[in-house]
Amino acid sequence: MTFWEHVDVFRKGFVKCLIVWAVCSVVAFCFKDFLFSVLFAPSQSDFILYRGMCRLAEWIGVRSLCPGDFEVQFINIELASQFMIHLEVALIVGVLIAFPYLIIQLYGFVAPALYEREKKYSVSLIFYGILLFMLGVLLNYFVIFPFAFRFLSTYQVQEAVINQIALKSYISTLLVLSLLLGVLFEIPIVAYFLGKLGVITADQLKQYRKHAFVVLCILAAIITPTADVFTLLLVTLPLYCLYELSVVVVRHQQKDNTPLDSVE
Protein backbone atom coordinates (compact mmCIF):
# COMPACT_ATOMS: atom_id res chain seq x y z
CA MET A 1 0.00 0.00 0.00
CA THR A 2 0.98 3.61 -0.49
CA PHE A 3 1.62 6.00 2.39
CA TRP A 4 -1.85 7.54 2.16
CA GLU A 5 -3.47 4.11 2.05
CA HIS A 6 -1.68 3.31 5.33
CA VAL A 7 -2.93 6.62 6.73
CA ASP A 8 -6.49 5.75 5.70
CA VAL A 9 -6.26 2.33 7.40
CA PHE A 10 -4.93 4.00 10.55
CA ARG A 11 -7.72 6.60 10.45
CA LYS A 12 -10.43 3.92 10.22
CA GLY A 13 -8.90 1.98 13.10
CA PHE A 14 -8.56 5.15 15.18
CA VAL A 15 -12.23 6.04 14.60
CA LYS A 16 -13.28 2.52 15.64
CA CYS A 17 -11.22 2.87 18.83
CA LEU A 18 -12.85 6.21 19.64
CA ILE A 19 -16.33 4.75 19.13
CA VAL A 20 -15.62 1.74 21.35
CA TRP A 21 -14.06 4.00 24.01
CA ALA A 22 -17.08 6.32 23.91
CA VAL A 23 -19.55 3.42 24.24
CA CYS A 24 -17.61 1.91 27.17
CA SER A 25 -17.39 5.32 28.86
CA VAL A 26 -21.14 5.88 28.51
CA VAL A 27 -21.82 2.46 30.03
CA ALA A 28 -19.45 3.23 32.93
CA PHE A 29 -21.09 6.66 33.39
CA CYS A 30 -24.55 5.06 33.65
CA PHE A 31 -23.44 2.66 36.40
CA LYS A 32 -22.48 5.46 38.78
CA ASP A 33 -23.46 3.74 42.03
CA PHE A 34 -21.55 0.55 41.28
CA LEU A 35 -18.54 2.46 39.91
CA PHE A 36 -18.06 4.66 42.97
CA SER A 37 -18.90 1.89 45.42
CA VAL A 38 -15.85 0.09 44.03
CA LEU A 39 -13.69 3.22 44.21
CA PHE A 40 -14.72 4.07 47.77
CA ALA A 41 -14.49 0.50 49.10
CA PRO A 42 -10.88 0.96 50.40
CA SER A 43 -12.09 3.89 52.52
CA GLN A 44 -14.54 1.68 54.44
CA SER A 45 -13.59 -0.12 57.65
CA ASP A 46 -15.15 -3.36 56.35
CA PHE A 47 -12.90 -3.51 53.28
CA ILE A 48 -11.70 -7.02 52.44
CA LEU A 49 -8.09 -6.24 53.48
CA TYR A 50 -9.12 -5.00 56.93
CA ARG A 51 -11.46 -7.97 57.47
CA GLY A 52 -8.67 -10.33 56.46
CA MET A 53 -6.27 -8.70 58.91
CA CYS A 54 -8.82 -9.02 61.72
CA ARG A 55 -9.31 -12.71 60.99
CA LEU A 56 -5.55 -13.19 60.92
CA ALA A 57 -5.28 -11.35 64.26
CA GLU A 58 -7.84 -13.70 65.79
CA TRP A 59 -6.12 -16.76 64.37
CA ILE A 60 -2.63 -15.93 65.67
CA GLY A 61 -3.89 -14.23 68.84
CA VAL A 62 -2.44 -10.77 68.16
CA ARG A 63 -5.34 -8.35 68.38
CA SER A 64 -3.20 -5.33 67.57
CA LEU A 65 -3.09 -6.46 63.93
CA CYS A 66 -6.81 -5.79 63.53
CA PRO A 67 -7.23 -2.22 62.24
CA GLY A 68 -10.60 -1.75 63.90
CA ASP A 69 -13.39 0.56 62.79
CA PHE A 70 -12.71 4.03 61.45
CA GLU A 71 -14.77 6.71 59.73
CA VAL A 72 -13.70 9.26 57.14
CA GLN A 73 -15.72 12.21 55.88
CA PHE A 74 -15.47 13.30 52.26
CA ILE A 75 -16.23 16.84 51.19
CA ASN A 76 -16.70 18.74 47.94
CA ILE A 77 -16.08 22.48 47.75
CA GLU A 78 -16.55 23.18 44.05
CA LEU A 79 -19.94 23.48 42.37
CA ALA A 80 -19.32 21.25 39.33
CA SER A 81 -16.59 19.09 40.86
CA GLN A 82 -18.69 15.99 41.52
CA PHE A 83 -20.06 15.89 37.99
CA MET A 84 -16.62 16.46 36.45
CA ILE A 85 -15.07 13.73 38.61
CA HIS A 86 -17.89 11.38 37.60
CA LEU A 87 -17.18 12.18 33.95
CA GLU A 88 -13.39 11.81 34.29
CA VAL A 89 -13.67 8.48 36.11
CA ALA A 90 -16.10 7.20 33.48
CA LEU A 91 -13.65 8.13 30.72
CA ILE A 92 -10.75 6.40 32.48
CA VAL A 93 -12.78 3.28 33.20
CA GLY A 94 -13.94 3.35 29.58
CA VAL A 95 -10.30 3.15 28.48
CA LEU A 96 -9.69 0.21 30.82
CA ILE A 97 -12.72 -1.66 29.52
CA ALA A 98 -11.87 -0.96 25.87
CA PHE A 99 -8.13 -1.55 26.38
CA PRO A 100 -8.05 -5.11 24.92
CA TYR A 101 -9.86 -3.90 21.79
CA LEU A 102 -7.50 -0.92 21.47
CA ILE A 103 -4.48 -3.21 21.69
CA ILE A 104 -5.96 -5.57 19.09
CA GLN A 105 -6.52 -2.67 16.70
CA LEU A 106 -2.97 -1.40 17.22
CA TYR A 107 -1.52 -4.85 16.70
CA GLY A 108 -3.62 -5.33 13.56
CA PHE A 109 -2.15 -2.14 12.12
CA VAL A 110 1.53 -3.00 12.77
CA ALA A 111 1.33 -6.80 12.31
CA PRO A 112 1.73 -6.74 8.48
CA ALA A 113 5.15 -5.10 8.93
CA LEU A 114 6.41 -7.82 11.29
CA TYR A 115 8.16 -11.07 10.49
CA GLU A 116 6.59 -14.30 11.73
CA ARG A 117 9.03 -14.64 14.62
CA GLU A 118 8.44 -11.03 15.65
CA LYS A 119 4.68 -11.60 15.57
CA LYS A 120 5.05 -14.49 18.00
CA TYR A 121 7.13 -12.40 20.41
CA SER A 122 4.89 -9.34 20.11
CA VAL A 123 1.73 -11.29 21.01
CA SER A 124 3.44 -12.75 24.08
CA LEU A 125 4.78 -9.36 25.15
CA ILE A 126 1.36 -7.74 24.79
CA PHE A 127 -0.26 -10.47 26.88
CA TYR A 128 2.33 -10.36 29.67
CA GLY A 129 2.47 -6.56 29.57
CA ILE A 130 -1.29 -6.29 30.16
CA LEU A 131 -1.13 -8.99 32.84
CA LEU A 132 1.69 -7.28 34.75
CA PHE A 133 -0.03 -3.88 34.50
CA MET A 134 -3.26 -5.30 35.93
CA LEU A 135 -1.36 -7.05 38.74
CA GLY A 136 0.19 -3.70 39.70
CA VAL A 137 -3.20 -1.97 39.69
CA LEU A 138 -4.78 -4.75 41.79
CA LEU A 139 -1.91 -4.72 44.29
CA ASN A 140 -2.39 -1.00 44.77
CA TYR A 141 -6.18 -1.25 45.09
CA PHE A 142 -6.29 -4.16 47.53
CA VAL A 143 -3.14 -3.57 49.60
CA ILE A 144 -1.04 -0.44 49.14
CA PHE A 145 -3.66 2.30 48.79
CA PRO A 146 -5.84 1.05 51.70
CA PHE A 147 -2.84 1.15 54.06
CA ALA A 148 -1.73 4.55 52.78
CA PHE A 149 -5.25 6.00 52.95
CA ARG A 150 -5.96 4.67 56.43
CA PHE A 151 -2.71 6.09 57.80
CA LEU A 152 -3.02 9.52 56.19
CA SER A 153 -6.78 9.95 56.73
CA THR A 154 -6.58 9.13 60.46
CA TYR A 155 -3.30 10.95 61.19
CA GLN A 156 -3.75 14.05 63.33
CA VAL A 157 -1.28 16.56 64.70
CA GLN A 158 -3.90 17.41 67.35
CA GLU A 159 -7.35 16.07 68.17
CA ALA A 160 -8.78 19.54 67.54
CA VAL A 161 -7.93 19.19 63.83
CA ILE A 162 -10.52 17.03 62.09
CA ASN A 163 -9.68 15.33 58.81
CA GLN A 164 -12.15 15.92 56.00
CA ILE A 165 -10.86 14.47 52.75
CA ALA A 166 -11.58 16.26 49.50
CA LEU A 167 -13.30 14.06 46.94
CA LYS A 168 -10.90 15.12 44.18
CA SER A 169 -7.86 14.36 46.36
CA TYR A 170 -9.08 10.84 47.12
CA ILE A 171 -9.90 9.92 43.52
CA SER A 172 -6.74 11.42 42.04
CA THR A 173 -4.50 9.71 44.61
CA LEU A 174 -6.10 6.34 43.97
CA LEU A 175 -5.83 6.64 40.19
CA VAL A 176 -2.27 8.04 40.17
CA LEU A 177 -0.96 5.34 42.53
CA SER A 178 -2.67 2.66 40.43
CA LEU A 179 -1.06 4.04 37.27
CA LEU A 180 2.39 4.23 38.89
CA LEU A 181 2.24 0.66 40.21
CA GLY A 182 0.97 -0.60 36.86
CA VAL A 183 3.86 1.09 35.05
CA LEU A 184 6.48 -0.13 37.54
CA PHE A 185 5.24 -3.69 37.12
CA GLU A 186 6.40 -3.47 33.50
CA ILE A 187 10.03 -3.85 34.66
CA PRO A 188 10.44 -7.36 33.13
CA ILE A 189 9.09 -6.14 29.78
CA VAL A 190 11.51 -3.21 29.74
CA ALA A 191 14.36 -5.56 30.72
CA TYR A 192 13.44 -7.87 27.85
CA PHE A 193 13.72 -5.06 25.28
CA LEU A 194 16.95 -3.75 26.78
CA GLY A 195 18.36 -7.27 26.66
CA LYS A 196 17.30 -7.60 23.02
CA LEU A 197 19.08 -4.36 22.21
CA GLY A 198 22.21 -5.53 24.02
CA VAL A 199 22.07 -2.71 26.59
CA ILE A 200 21.98 -5.05 29.60
CA THR A 201 22.89 -8.66 30.37
CA ALA A 202 21.79 -11.10 33.06
CA ASP A 203 25.25 -10.97 34.65
CA GLN A 204 25.02 -7.18 34.93
CA LEU A 205 21.61 -7.42 36.60
CA LYS A 206 22.95 -9.96 39.10
CA GLN A 207 26.01 -7.82 39.76
CA TYR A 208 23.95 -4.73 40.63
CA ARG A 209 21.33 -6.49 42.78
CA LYS A 210 22.20 -4.47 45.90
CA HIS A 211 22.11 -1.19 44.00
CA ALA A 212 18.78 -2.12 42.44
CA PHE A 213 17.32 -2.92 45.87
CA VAL A 214 18.30 0.52 47.16
CA VAL A 215 16.80 2.22 44.09
CA LEU A 216 13.58 0.21 44.47
CA CYS A 217 13.38 1.19 48.14
CA ILE A 218 13.65 4.84 47.14
CA LEU A 219 10.94 4.41 44.50
CA ALA A 220 8.73 2.65 47.05
CA ALA A 221 9.27 5.48 49.53
CA ILE A 222 8.23 8.02 46.88
CA ILE A 223 5.15 6.04 45.87
CA THR A 224 3.93 5.28 49.38
CA PRO A 225 3.14 8.47 51.31
CA THR A 226 3.06 6.62 54.64
CA ALA A 227 5.99 6.58 57.03
CA ASP A 228 5.70 2.99 58.28
CA VAL A 229 8.19 0.32 57.27
CA PHE A 230 5.49 -2.30 56.71
CA THR A 231 3.86 -0.41 53.83
CA LEU A 232 7.30 0.35 52.38
CA LEU A 233 8.11 -3.36 52.30
CA LEU A 234 4.72 -4.13 50.73
CA VAL A 235 5.82 -2.12 47.70
CA THR A 236 9.53 -2.95 47.71
CA LEU A 237 9.26 -6.75 47.86
CA PRO A 238 7.01 -7.16 44.78
CA LEU A 239 9.23 -4.76 42.82
CA TYR A 240 12.34 -6.69 43.83
CA CYS A 241 10.67 -9.95 42.81
CA LEU A 242 10.03 -8.37 39.43
CA TYR A 243 13.71 -7.43 39.25
CA GLU A 244 14.68 -11.06 39.87
CA LEU A 245 12.15 -12.08 37.22
CA SER A 246 13.89 -9.65 34.87
CA VAL A 247 17.16 -11.51 35.45
CA VAL A 248 15.48 -14.75 34.38
CA VAL A 249 13.86 -13.08 31.35
CA VAL A 250 17.13 -11.55 30.15
CA ARG A 251 19.02 -14.81 30.68
CA HIS A 252 16.40 -16.68 28.62
CA GLN A 253 16.58 -14.00 25.94
CA GLN A 254 20.35 -14.31 25.76
CA LYS A 255 20.07 -18.05 25.21
CA ASP A 256 17.66 -17.38 22.35
CA ASN A 257 19.96 -14.55 21.12
CA THR A 258 17.59 -13.38 18.34
CA PRO A 259 17.70 -9.64 17.50
CA LEU A 260 14.51 -7.67 17.15
CA ASP A 261 14.85 -7.19 13.40
CA SER A 262 15.77 -10.77 12.54
CA VAL A 263 14.66 -12.15 9.21
CA GLU A 264 13.54 -15.75 8.97
pLDDT tens, 104-147?
888 777 777 767 777 777 788 888 888 888 899 998 899 888 88
Question: Mean pLDDT lowest for which of 38-42, 48-52, 90-94?
Answer: 48-52
Closest CA to 240 of 263, 215, 204, 221: 215
| SS3 assignment, position 31 | coil
The upper half-sphere exposure of residue 214, i.e. CA atoms within 13 Å in the direction of its Cβ, equals 3
Write the pLDDT tens digit of every residue in 166-208: 998 899 888 888 888 888 898 988 888 888 778 888 888 888 8
Question: Mean pLDDT lowest for which of 8-17, 57-66, 88-97?
Answer: 57-66
Does the model's pTM come out above 0.85? no
The whole-angstrom separation of Cα 31 and Cα 14 is: 26
Question: How far is CA 25 from its chain centroid?
Answer: 19
The whole-angstrom separation of Cα 57 and Cα 39 is: 26
| Res 1: pLDDT | 66
Report the pLDDT averaged over residues 245-256: 83
Burial class (CB in 10 A: 0-12, 13-18, 19+), 146: buried
| Res 228: pLDDT | 63
Amino acid (one-letter) located at 92 = I
Question: Mean pLDDT lowest for which of 38-47, 91-100, 227-236?
Answer: 227-236
